[in-house]
Chains A and B, each alone.
Chain A
Amino acid sequence: MLGWMGGLVRGLSQRTLLCYGLVFFAFVYAPMVIVFVYSFNSNPVNMMAWQEFTFDWYRSIFGLSNKLTEQALYVESTDQLKAAVKNSLIVACTTTTISTVIGTMTALAMARFRFRFKTFYRVLVFMPMIIPDIVLGLALLIYFVTLGGELGLITIIIGHCTFLGSYVFIVVSARLAGMDQTFEEASADLGANRFVTFRRVTLPLITPGVVGGALLAFIISMDDLVITYFIAGVDSTTLPVFIYGMLRRGIKPEINAIASLMILFSLVVASSGLYFRSRAAR
């Protein structure tokens, strides 16, 4: 009797847990699923009313639309979208490279060397992450204008690097903290100088952290809106700024198609990162 009751309670609690899990994931992913589904909805006026299946919005954003309706003209020019994507990729690739190198070097210095005011420097490195984006964006804008620089891709890259280095620093630092320093001592003991030790021992051992930090930096750079909005020039619009511009003139079905493609892209990047990490862990 008691055993039966216990089984019932266990079954009930398991089912409750399952329900909770489902509700949780539904809450997180339902909006994205809806965006994805309605990106195939042919209803041009009311996105929420399903009409029929279509690839029109994808055709439209790629400039392949054959029926030039008023709605299709909404993406004024596919070239603008393409330019925005290209800008975003240029910015993300450049900033990822620069901030990964800077962040990794900073993490190594903090972990391996003893010097004065270390805690102070550590706080300085963290700061850009804590400062609200809007403040950082405004500060950068004022700074660039004061210096008399022209706003463009260069200013966006500099702006992104100021805070992306911090993210890389954190991820690489975590990896370094878990790494036994005697590996480096063993390398030195066997006759390797600092550089050889870094290349043959330290770098291979922290690679998962470096790659993780780089992916994080890439994703953050790709979808940063607030800071980029302040420091982007007229012809250096990135994808998030471009989408934001579209939204200000009303939510149109093409947005769904663009968003779906972005989700897909993020998925590819994230899963390639996970794949790499699981290989490195082996």
Chain B
Amino acid sequence: MNESSLVVIADATKRFAAPEGGVITALDAISFNVNDKEFVTLLGPSGCGKTTLLRAISGFEDLDSGTIVIDNQLMTHVPPHRRPVNTVFQNYALFPHLSVGDNIGYGLDVTGCAKPERNQRVDEVLELVGLVGFERRRPKQLSGGQQQRVALARAIINRPKLLLLDEPLSALDRKLRQAMQLELKNIQHELGIAFVFVTHDQEEALTMSDRIVVLDRGGIQQIGTPTTIYDSPVSIFVAQFVGEGNLFSGTFTRDGDVGTLRTDSGINIVIHDLLPGINNGDKAAVLIRPEDFELLDSPNETKSGAAVLEVRIAQTVFVGTDFQIVGSTTTGETLKATIRDPSRTLASRLGEGDVVRFTYRPHAPRLLPMSENANDPSPDDA
């Protein structure tokens, strides 16, 4: 066991009986650690097991096998109310019959904290979440963002070593959500406690996390920092789920230190970062992020080490400094590219139906193994 790890999850497995018969594996031998003061995000689509995992940590779900250790204590038979963790629930679960102050003080009231200390600590967290003056209101009389803050304040008043957050921002509108992302990060820093944050929003995960655990169908797909996950996804699933991307499938050939993927449509893409498991003649996929594309100016220009793709433009969207371009290659693949346009000269050149020539940074293509369940590596859904 890693001494510095606050949470150690080993081989956590949980199965449910499906209503239509059969068994759903919600957690399939999940193992990972959470370090002190770390912000870890569990990221995955709905039904990937992230909420089940969170509930196993907080004690509301028992594991079929495997262990969870928090702060060097085995949690297997410890009921929720004895665990050193607190949760911010998805729908906040604020007690409707109690005032904001009593909601926040609840954790202290049930553990028999002395009144003066209790009131002082309530005032402290009210200040921390910026709700001073609201303590006499009922939760119903608050806006969604304010309720969110009360839920956060209530969960941190017991000073847990670990705070669990179950999609806490999903009910807020976009602007408020982005503000709360930064604020959560600040509060985490200020408190110096570890956060385990559940979300299905990859943007949120990339913005806030120290590390991301990407989950799919009850299993861990990849664990890593946001940059690792984004730049070096290990599977087609991760590549598609985190960020936008263009995926090409084809046949791999190796030539010394470099390899080449010949796509099914006949484009040769040179690969500089090889994967040990992929050998000559294997089927594989390659990922190129939209921002790795470059627009070639003249019809004859090429770039060494990178293929040229001729693309018929279907749609262009101007977003601030970038142009997002959707088009299709002459060989039939859909392609998304993001081109920086500081000089504002592109608009005149990119009409719908125009054919332009794209290339990419030579080191951008990322080789990915074909997974057994990814028979359709279309780049459509990110």
Residues in A with CB closer than 8 Å to B2 are none
Q: Does B134 contact A (CB under 8 A)?
A: no
State A182–B88 Cα separation when bound (angstroms).
Answer: 11
- Known interface pairs A183-B95, A185-B80, A186-B95; A191-B111 also in contact (CB < 8 Å): yes
- Known interface pairs A186-B87, A186-B89, A200-B110; A191-B81 also in contact (CB < 8 Å): yes
- Evaluate contact between B154 and A190: CB separation under 8 angstroms: yes
- Evaluate contact between A190 and B93: CB separation under 8 angstroms: no
Q: Mark A182-221, 1 if CB is under 8 A from B, else 0.
A: 1101111111110010001100110000000000000000
Q: Does B107 contact A (CB under 8 A)?
A: yes
Chain B nearest Cβ from A240, distance in angstroms: 38
Set B81, B97, B158: member contacting A204, Cβ < 8 A: B97
Set A183, A189, A200: member contacting B80, Cβ < 8 A: A189
State A192–B155 Cα separation when bound (angstroms).
Answer: 13
- Evaluate contact between B97 and A205: CB separation under 8 angstroms: yes
State A190–B109 Cα separation when bound (angstroms).
Answer: 10
- Evaluate contact between A182 and B111: CB separation under 8 angstroms: no
Nearest A residue to B107 via CB reads A190
Q: Does B60 contact A (CB under 8 A)?
A: yes
- Evaluate contact between A191 and B93: CB separation under 8 angstroms: no
State A188–B87 Cα separation when bound (angstroms).
Answer: 10
Residues in B with CB closer than 8 Å to A183 are 93, 95-96
Nearest B residue to A193 via CB reads B81
Residues in B with CB closer than 8 Å to A191 are 81-82, 107, 110-111, 158
- Known interface pairs A187-B106, A190-B110, A192-B81; A180-B95 also in contact (CB < 8 Å): no
Q: Mark A5-35, 1 if CB is under 8 A from B, else 0.
A: 0000000000000000000000000000000
Interface magnitude class on chain A: 10 to 19
**How many chain B residues have a CB neighbour from A under 8 Å?**
25
How many contacts A-B (CB < 8 Å)? 61
State A193–B83 Cα separation when bound (angstroms).
Answer: 12
Interface positions of B from 137 to 155, Cβ below 8 Å from A:
154-155
Set A180, A192, A196: member contacting B93, Cβ < 8 A: A180
State A200–B60 Cα separation when bound (angstroms).
Answer: 20
Residues in A with CB closer than 8 Å to B58 are 189
State A205–B86 Cα separation when bound (angstroms).
Answer: 22
State A190–B105 Cα separation when bound (angstroms).
Answer: 10
Q: Does B353 contact A (CB under 8 A)?
A: no
Residues in A with CB closer than 8 Å to B86 are 189-190
Chain A nearest Cβ from B57, distance in angstroms: 11
Chain B nearest Cβ from A126, distance in angstroms: 25
State A15–B58 Cα separation when bound (angstroms).
Answer: 61
- Known interface pairs A185-B89, A196-B110; A201-B95 also in contact (CB < 8 Å): yes
Interface positions of B from 88 to 144, Cβ below 8 Å from A:
89, 91, 93-97, 106-107, 109-111
- Evaluate contact between B95 and A189: CB separation under 8 angstroms: no
Residues in A with CB closer than 8 Å to B82 are 191
State A187–B59 Cα separation when bound (angstroms).
Answer: 13
Chain B nearest Cβ from A187, distance in angstroms: 7
Residues in B with CB closer than 8 Å to A192 are 81, 106, 110
Set B59, B91, B97, B107: member contacting A182, Cβ < 8 A: B91
Residues in A with CB closer than 8 Å to B85 are 189
Q: Does B79 contact A (CB under 8 A)?
A: yes
- Known interface pairs A189-B86, A190-B106; A182-B81 also in contact (CB < 8 Å): no
Q: Mark A162-195, 1 if CB is under 8 A from B, else 0.
A: 0000000000000000001011011111111100
Nearest B residue to A280 via CB reads B97
Chain B nearest Cβ from A222, distance in angstroms: 31
Residues in B with CB closer than 8 Å to A204 are 97
Chain B nearest Cβ from A281, distance in angstroms: 11
Chain A nearest Cβ from B275, distance in angstroms: 43
| 13 further contact pairs, Cβ within 8 A, besides A187-B95, A193-B81, A196-B110 | A183-B96, A185-B60, A186-B87, A186-B93, A186-B154, A189-B86, A190-B106, A190-B107, A190-B154, A191-B107, A192-B110, A204-B97, A205-B97
Of all A-B residue pairs in the complex, the 10 with the closest CB atoms, nearest first, are A190-B107, A192-B110, A186-B93, A182-B93, A188-B80, A204-B97, A188-B81, A189-B87, A191-B111, A191-B81
24 cross-chain CB contacts under 8 A:
A180-B93, A182-B91, A183-B95, A185-B87, A186-B89, A186-B93, A186-B94, A186-B95, A187-B110, A188-B81, A189-B80, A189-B81, A189-B86, A189-B155, A190-B107, A190-B155, A190-B158, A191-B81, A191-B107, A191-B111, A192-B106, A200-B109, A204-B97, A205-B97
